[in-house]
Amino acid sequence: GDSVTQMEGPVTLSEEAFLTINCTYTATGYPSLFWYVQYPGEGLQLLLKATKADDKGSNKGFEATYRKETTSFHLEKGSVQVSDSAVYFCALSDLNMSGSEKLVFGKGTKLTVNP
């Protein structure tokens, strides 16, 4: 079945450092790819998404490019802030016969940014 593998955390960075969180996927079809973020004490929020190969999703300075050839969707940010401290989840959805677009998540990567 479909699966998502993302780098294990925790990741600790200093403010203004460069961030990369690796994510690779396995899917039988042509999935959409997502990064969700969970800030401390809050619910899951969509950070960015890409629905087809070579699409780049971006939001709040974060970017990820859908790479079909390497089945990857790595999250990057050029200069992290303390407020970016959160748990980041890579996910995919693939439309199935039932019409479900259920999300398959990676295990999450906890990011801590120190001032």
Partner 1 sequence: GAGVSQSPSNKVTEKGKDVELRCDPISGHTALYWYRQSLGQGLEFLIYFQGNSAPDKSGLPSDRFSAERTGGSVSTLTIQRTQQEDSAVYLCASSTPSGTGGSTDTQYFGPGTRLTVL
Interface residue list for partner 1 (CB under 8 A): 32, 34, 36, 42-46, 49, 51, 89, 91, 93, 95-96, 98-108
Cα separation of 93 and 113, whole Å? 29
Closer by beta carbon to partner 1, 24 or else 105: 105
Closest CA to 90 of 78, 76, 107, 102: 107
Residue that has been written with the tokens 């079809």 in this structure: 29
| Residue 108, both tokens | 């999450």
Closer by beta carbon to partner 1, 97 or else 115: 97
| Residue 99, both tokens | 């019409």
Query: At its nearest, how many Å lie between partner 1 and the CB of residue 20?
Result: 21
What does the longest C-alpha to C-alpha distance in the chain come to? 48
Residue that has been written with the tokens 């693939």 in this structure: 94
Closer by beta carbon to partner 1, 17 or else 59: 59
Query: At its nearest, how many Å lie between partner 1 and the CB of residue 10?
Result: 14
Closer by beta carbon to partner 1, 40 or else 43: 43
**3-state DSSP call for residue 87?**
strand
Q: Give, as one character, the DSSP assignment of residue 46.
A: E
Query: At its nearest, how many Å lie between partner 1 and the CB of residue 62?
Result: 16
Query: At its nearest, how many Å lie between partner 1 and the CB of residue 107?
Result: 5
